Structure formats: structure tokens, C-alpha cells
Chain A
């Protein structure tokens, strides 16, 4: 692997190695650009991943101090755990389920199409689906998304059979095993899915795309790439001209280091990215970097989510096989006659016994609860994921009462559901229950949202500088050599799982950064 001097200010410095940071790094390296990636987490591999829910969680999850506030149930049930995302090389691409859907055309124009909802901070993206389409195509090819590029869909497991039977009986039309970045046949020097059922715990077969064993080794092979695991960014520094000059971080030995850079790209996922911008406040930027709009940390979105588990008279064994290879897409469009704007997807989901006990009904106990665990092998499950409303008051801020292990203020995540989110969730719960009833369920259970696995919006794109943090390239409005490269960029959330869009934006951002560098604009 290449190694770059701390004082080498010609490098592009990327914070985070996940879907955004890892992809951006490889794309730049392929163009001959020198890249240093700082990753707070450690280096794992398919060999070190563990098929054990709690052990894996300890290995991969971001567990640094966080606090929560607001009326969301997470603040009561999981007050210190607002998200289930990762601190590891590869970021949340190690843990994700692989669902790879494009945002829909109208979702890029949410404000124009949905209108000005009271209590929501809707805004149109400064890009259209048409502009992103070539990059979606590149991302689907890069990731090996099933049902694109001639790649067959995955075979459906028992959990999918239940979803499919119920959904088709109910009249749904778009029901299949999904667009998944999981090899259905060998591809890209990786084997095909073995239906392990531990997708969330890191793919031990490597069939699921993760930057850990795709983008990062490919970047390394160019000779232009250095990754420093266990390197936790603490502050982004700038000069008197207001350009960023480098990043101060704590290295694997806990020592403070400074890496200079020509360009800094922040891809720490939607809690750490705004947090770092806020922590980097200075005399020149009193409200944090790139925050002239006041929108850094705001408009935090986590998708409307919920889960329905249903029990059947006969066994399902839903844990066998790919966790999320199953989808019903009919409710994803915008149909305001349902009582809300935006849409949602219904996707198969399964948890093992340990996580079922923790997340089925947080705080629940007694014979009712025990009944569900007793019927575990006869359960099917589906996750509901839809568009939640951006709100200025849903935001990541610095909790000045609490410091992390490095002495930096911990992030607080404040969230209150918008009434549109609640209406959508209730509709989704009802439809999911009806699907399972159509398949013969004897009981069903409405599980509340988990600690957020989809996190977006906290450094959003906007056409005008006063409405957001970055422009259509993810370049911050205020500082031309500072970029945001993760899901924080999302102006709105759409109904779809975010990873494909993050990867597509990263490929596109790499093209832009390369052009800007050649032109010496940055």
C-alpha cells in the first residue's frame, strides 16, 4: 500500500471508508489521484465476521457515546443508541442488507410534487433523476445488482415465499426477490450467495458487495491509495482564506496527528459528518464549517420504518437465507389518496433469537411476549421503509454535557415523527398485516422502528446556499475544497434504501473532483 507523508498537501483526504468514502476513494485512485482514507474503525474481513448477532454487533457497530431526544420511541427504548451503523473498514456496507434501488423521478422533486407541508422542510434536489441515471447504471454494474446487467435475481427463501403468496393473493403486482447487490452467481472474483442468513453480521462468503473487499483493495492496487484504520477524525482545519488544509485525528495509538490535504471529503455517515463540521467551528466559522445556512445537522431523516412479524400454523424458518431478498414495490409511488405524501417499500426481514428478544417489542415482557418467542420457527417478517419528512427540528447537535473518549462533545440526535410519517407507517402496518393474513397468518405483531439503519439529510444538497450545505456535486457552498460524500447529502429520503444512491453520487463526485483538480479550480 502507498504511504503518504503527513505534510503531503497534494492528497485528497477522505474521512470514512463506507459506501460513499470507499467508492469515492477507488474512483479517484483509478484516475491517478492520490487518496488517504481515515477510518475510525478497525480492519475486519469475511474471515473475522461472526455469525452471532450480539458478538457481531460489538465487532462492527458504532458504539461511541451518543444521546437522543424527541418524541421518537428510540429516545425511550434505546436512548444511547440512535443508530445501527458501523465503525469498521467498509463502514455500513459490511452490515447492510444489499437492497439497491434507484430513487424515483418525483422523489428528486419532493417539494414541487408534494407541496409545502406544514412542519416539514421539503426541498427539491438540485439534480434530477435523468442526470443521475448514467451513474446509477455505473453503480449497478460496479455492485453487481441483481436484475440489472443481465444478472439473475436471487432465489427466494421461505420468508419470501410467505411474502409472495400473501402479496399476490392481495393483488400486488410487483413482487420479487429484489434488486440486491448480492451475487446470484459468481461475479467480480466473488462467489455467489450461500443463503447464510447472517447478512447483517458481515457477509462471510463475500457475495454481498461491500467496499471492504471490493473498492478498497481495488484502490490499493492502483498504488495511489492509503487507508489508515483506527484513525478517528477530530477536527477539520482551514486557513485564513477559508480553505480547508487538513484533518487532525487520533491514530491507532491514541496520538493526535495532522494530515494535510488539498481536498477534504467527509463520509462519516449522517451523524458523524455534521458532528465533525460542528466540532470544527473556529473564529472564522463560529457555527461550524460550511454552516452559513444553519442547516448542518438539520433535516435528519431515518425513513419511515416499522416491521410486521406474523405467526403461522406451519413452520417458516425465516432465518434461513438472504435476509432481505424479497420486495413488494406497489406502494412506493406517490398516491395522496392514501392519506400521505410519498411512498414505501415492503421488504422481507428476519432476526435471530437474540435480536428478536431485544427488538420485537422493546421493553415488552410476560406471557404475550413469550408467545412470540415460542413460535419463532413459525414466524415470517417484513420491514417497511418509506419516505419520512425532513424537518429542521430533527437534527444532530453537539451535546455539550457529554464528551467522547477523545474529549469531543458527543452528538445528540433529536427526532419527532411528522404526521405524514405516522400516517404512512399506519398504512404500511395495515397492508403488511393484510399480506400475511392472505397467506394464512394466525397473529401479527407491529414492531416499532429499530435504531436507525438509514440515516440521511444532515448536510443536504440545495440549489441555493441558504437552503442547504452542499451544491449538486456535494461540494459545500461555503468552502470549495470541502465535500460531503455520504448520505448526509440527501435533500430528501425517497422511499428507497439509500446505498445505491450514495454510491452513484460518489462516482459522479469523483468525476467532478477530478475535473476541478485538472482545472486547478480546487
Chain B
């Protein structure tokens, strides 16, 4: 998918300039803004060679925010990484946290206020931008807001946003749904070899017909 660059060039509209070779911007009924209906955009790519990159249809991902700004979304992603730090999980998973909190903000004004004020608070404690603080400073800041309603809302959201998705399953080695594959009776439910096999009394043989 082609990533839409926000910082664009400004070629002269509707004029003919043979020398520059720049593709003319023709004035279309759709303004650039309308491709980006949202308030913010998060995007990235899955590192090539990783398990997820091999499973995903493409390496690039993008997520439109409806209520929060890009900076706010990125701050939530960064806070998610402090709360639940997994080197193996790509940004795409933490973007799901931002997505789900953004949806809450979009449907509930008080949730939006809670999140936006909380994010502003993190930035203020970082003396600028939370996302730019060191890892140690970030953790100290998050620990400092532990117990606040903002902290509680973000942490609780992490439980499902970060862990209840196919990317997380793949990274942590959890295959998910089993029935459509016939369960595990022929797929290694008792394949562990590094401990002794229990007696037949304790663990009878499986019935295979």
C-alpha cells in the first residue's frame, strides 16, 4: 500500500512548465485532506525476516485515528511499550492499543478528555515529549501516574488490545483456535520428551479407533 506523505511538495497548479518535470497537480474536487479523514495517522512496517513479516500480506501498515492526533497516538503506543514491554512485538501491535483507545475517545467525550489530558500530563512530566524521553525516564513517569484514572484506562485496554490479536498469538507461539484443525490429538498434545512418560495407569493411551 502506498503511504501518503503528509509533508508534500507544492507544484504550481494548472500551469505548464516543461523544464521541471514535476507532475502537475491538477485541481481535483477532492482536496488532499479528504484522503485522510481522520485526525491522525500511525504507520510503520514489519521488520523483514521476522515471523510476522512472513505471515502478513504486506510489510507496511497504517492506522487512521478518528479523534486523537498522530502525536497523541504515538504517545499511547509508547506508554503501552512501557506497561507491557515486549521486544518481539512490533509497533503494529502497540498501534492497536492506540486504535482502541482512539475509538473510545471518539464515542465518549469524557474518555477523550481523560486520555488527552493524561497524554499531555506525560509530556509535561517528560519536560517536552514523552516519546523522546529515555526508557528509564519513561518508566519512572508511568510509575508516577500509576493509580490515576488515566493509567487505569490505558492499562486495562492493553490487556485486550496488545494480547488478543493474531500478531501477538503468532509472536508468543499460541496457535489459537484448534477445532478446525481436529484438535491436538494427532498434533502433539503429549509430545513432550524432556520428562518421563507417565505410567499407563496414570495416563492411558489415547483411543484412536
- Show the binding face of A for B, using Cβ within 8 Å: 51-54, 152-158, 160-162, 164-165, 175-177, 184-186, 192-198, 204-205, 314-317, 319-321, 352-354, 356-358, 363, 365-367, 369-370, 373-374, 376-377, 439-440
Shortest distance between the CB of A331 and any CB in chain B (Å): 17
> Cβ of B195 and Cβ of A358 under 8 Å apart?
no
Taking the closest CB of chain A, its distance from the CB of B100, in whole angstroms, is: 13
Interface hub of B163, B192, B198 (most chain A Cβ within 10 A): B192
Could you say which residues of chain B place their CB within 8 Å of the CB of A357? 159-160, 162-164
The distance in angstroms between the C-alpha atoms of A154 and B190, with both chains bound, is 12
- Min CB gap A368→B, angstroms: 10
Residues of B within 8 A of A (CB): 82-86, 88, 139, 155, 158-160, 162-164, 168-169, 172-180, 182-185, 187-192, 194-198, 201-207
- Cβ contact within 8 Å between A152 and B204: yes
Q: Beyond the given A320-B188, A373-B163, please list 20 additional residue pairs across the A-B interface where CB-CB is below 8 A.
A: A54-B164, A155-B189, A155-B190, A160-B198, A164-B195, A164-B203, A177-B204, A193-B183, A194-B182, A194-B184, A194-B185, A205-B183, A320-B187, A320-B189, A354-B160, A363-B155, A365-B83, A365-B155, A373-B84, A377-B173
Given A155-B206, A176-B202, A196-B183: A376 and B196 within 8 A (CB)?
A: no
- Is there contact, CB below 8 Å, between A176 and B176? no
Q: Are B163 and A353 in contact (CB under 8 A)?
A: yes
Task: Determine if A155 and B204 form an interchain contact, defined as CB atoms under 8 angstroms apart.
Answer: yes
Known contacts: A165-B195, A321-B189. The answer to whether A155 contacts B179 by CB under 8 A is no
A195 and B194 contacting across the interface, CB-CB below 8 Å? no
Q: Are A376 and B173 in contact (CB under 8 A)?
A: yes
CB-defined A-B contacts under 8 Å, sample of 14: A51-B177, A51-B180, A155-B203, A165-B198, A184-B207, A193-B185, A197-B184, A353-B169, A366-B139, A367-B85, A373-B84, A374-B86, A377-B174, A440-B195
How many Å lie between the Cα of A403 and that of B35 in the bound state? 46
Main secondary structure on A side of the interface with B: loop
A165-B207 CB under 8 A given contacts A357-B163, A376-B172 = no
A370 to B176, CA, bound (A): 19
- Residue of chain B at shortest CB distance from A369: B84
- Distance of B137 from chain A, by nearest CB (Å): 15
- Take A161-B198, A370-B85 as given contacts and tell me if A204 and B189 are in contact as well, using a CB distance cutoff of 8 Å: no
A333 → B minimal CB distance (Å): 20
Bound-complex Cα distance A515 to B158 (A): 57
Q: Which residues of A contact B192 (CB under 8 A)?
A: 158, 161-162, 314-317
Bound-state CA distance A374–B163 (Å) is 11
Q: Quick one: closest A residue to B152, CB to CB? A: A363
Q: Considering only CB atoms, which chain A residue lies closest to B202 in the complex?
A: A176
A365-B83, A370-B86 in contact; A156/B178 too (CB < 8 A)? no
The answer to whether A164 and B198 have CB atoms under 8 Å apart is yes
- A158 & B190 in contact (Cβ 8 Å cutoff): yes
Contact assessment for A373 and B203 in the assembled complex, using a CB-CB cutoff below 8 Å: no
Residue of A nearest to B194 (CB): A314
Q: Which residues of A contact B155 (CB under 8 A)?
A: 363, 365
Contact of A162 among B175, B195, B203 (CB under 8 A): B195
Contacts of A194 in B (CB 8 A): 179, 182-185
Closest CB of chain B to A62's CB: distance in Å?
20
Contact of B195 among A153, A161, A363, A367 (CB under 8 A): A161
Q: A152-B207, A153-B203 are in contact. Are A52 and B176 (CB under 8 A)?
A: yes
A54-B159 Cα distance, complex, nearest whole Å: 11
Select one of B84, B176, B178, B195 contacting A365, CB under 8 A: B84
Report yes or no: B86 in contact with A195, Cβ–Cβ below 8 A.
no
Which 8 A-B pairs have CB atoms at the shortest separation, nearest pair first? Answer: A194-B183, A156-B203, A321-B189, A357-B163, A51-B177, A196-B183, A155-B206, A158-B192
C-alpha gap A51/B169 in the complex (Å)? 13
Bound complex: CA A195 to CA B181 (Å): 11
Bound CA span A316–B196, Å: 13
User: B134 to nearest A CB, angstroms?
Assistant: 15
Q: What residues on B are CB-neighbors of A51 within 8 Å?
A: 176-180
Which residues from B are CB-within-8-Å of A54? Answer: 160, 164
